[in-house]
Structure 1
Amino acid sequence: MLPSGLAKEIPLDYRLRTPEELDTSLGQALAAAPQDTARSGSWLFVYGSMLKDPPFSPEEQRHAVLEGWERVFCLADPKMRGTPKHPGLSLGLVQGPRCVGVAYRLSARTMREDLKGVWQREMALPFYAACWLQARTRPGPIPVLTFCTDLHGPLYEPSLSEPAMLERLATCAGENGSNAAYLEQTVQQLAEVGIPDPGLAQLALRVRAMR
């Protein structure tokens, strides 16, 4: 494994969102929905850590495709898979060719409580902006709520070089474990739900070789 000292210190200026800010953010996201979620519920599109064990019980789930978007390691993670001095990397959703993920249908009855747990897990760090997009599924198109990278946020790293990305994935670790394990778990989960990502799988092989 590479010595952790090889990872450069990267000062970050950020703070965790407060419970009040999370609640406000969730309310704003639901208010922006293209349909009456209080009656119909909503679909949540996931593309990373919630692929297999989401913190809720969905009514239905489907493979879904977002055209014009892709998942990439573009977010500095100073907490879950890194530290403030040696931030790891988390997946974000940015404009690109396409992103295949899973859409979960949340019932109107439990939707807000379900999403509250998701918000606490995914939105505490200033990684994302909640957004509504159109996803393609086999039965037909559906509007989905998902987490787009906050392009104006303090943790977005649009110009990260490939060597720097590989180094941080191979060496960084935080409260939830190593960045390498996060990458491996994501690759495995994508394969297990039937939507393997060859690009991430190749990245995992390169990180494994570095370690």
Structure 2
Amino acid sequence: MNYHLRTQAELDASLDKALAAAPHDVTRSGSWLLVYGSMLKEPPFSPEERRPATLEGWERVFCLADPKMRGTERHPGLCLGLVRGHRCRGLAYRLSAGTVREALRRVWEREMLLPFYVPCWLQAQTPRGVITALTFCTDPDSPLYEPSLSEPAMLERLALCEGENGSNAEYLDTTARQLAEVGLPDTGLDQLSERVRAMRAARREHG
């Protein structure tokens, strides 16, 4: 696969670029970060506030080949991305002005190591009004982006692939469960998780 892991210098430059593109001075007013996958329950920072948030016109899908965390280069797993679509519900974390850069630096080291995403500033609806939040949109130019992945191929990779952080099935199950636990159940992910569990059970039964 034709990709490379970002260096610390590249991560820092990417973060600087994202902060410079913010519609406000984050070092003075802080910022919102909207998450929709792995950071729903254990973000690498302590937020000032947490709110449910909805992005209209976007949706989370398994569309990014993962050759490291939930797969290998020979058998890449799949990671969630954010693409144009119907609606995506997640959590918005409020980061204070004094901690925002260090908090996002930790996020960058976790989420931006592989060339999955383009940091985007998007408007999101929350119970207390509209906010502008930083989030991670799928990079359409990424060599790991698979926009035309068939459903059977997706199911097989979710069921079988494993990487440094564990199995792809575990990642799917954990995300679906955490969304439900924070009051944001995703029916599509729940159904996908059930199908993947059934596939894994059938394979175990038949050796």
What is the one-letter code of the residue matched to 2:76? P
Corresponding residue for 2:140? 151
Give the secondary-structure state (helix, strand or coil) at the position aligned to 2:40.
coil
Question: What's the TM-score once normalised by structure 1's chain length?
Answer: 0.94
User: Is 1:72 paired with 2:72?
Assistant: no
The one-character-per-residue Cα deviations of 1:109-130 (angstroms, maximum 9, x if unpaired) are 0100000000000000000010
Q: Percent identity?
A: 74
Question: What's the TM-score once normalised by structure 2's chain length?
Answer: 0.96
Give the secondary-structure state (helix, strand or coil) at the position aligned to 2:129.
coil
Counterparts of 2:101 and 2:24, CA distance in 1: 15
Instruction: Report deviation, 1:36.
Output: 1.3
Counterparts of 2:21 and 2:185, CA distance in 1: 32
* Equivalent in 183, 187, 193 of residue 182 of structure 2: 193
The one-character-per-residue Cα deviations of 1:20-70 (angstroms, maximum 9, x if unpaired) are 000000000000001111111000000000001100000001000000000
Counterparts of 1:44 and 1:38, CA distance in 2: 14
* Equivalent in 140, 157, 161 of residue 168 of structure 1: 157
Map 1:28-47 → 2, pairs under 5 A: 28-47=17-36
Corresponding residue for 1:14? 3
Counterparts of 1:116 and 1:36, CA distance in 2: 17
Structure 2 gap ranges (5+): 201-207
What is the one-letter code of the residue matched to 2:135? T
Counterparts of 1:108 and 1:85, CA distance in 2: 43
The one-character-per-residue Cα deviations of 1:69-97 (angstroms, maximum 9, x if unpaired) are 00000000000000000000000000000
* Equivalent in 12, 17, 40 of residue 23 of structure 1: 12
Corresponding residue for 1:114? 103
Corresponding residue for 2:203? none
Structure 1 gap ranges (5+): 1-11
User: Is 1:52 paired with 2:41?
Assistant: yes
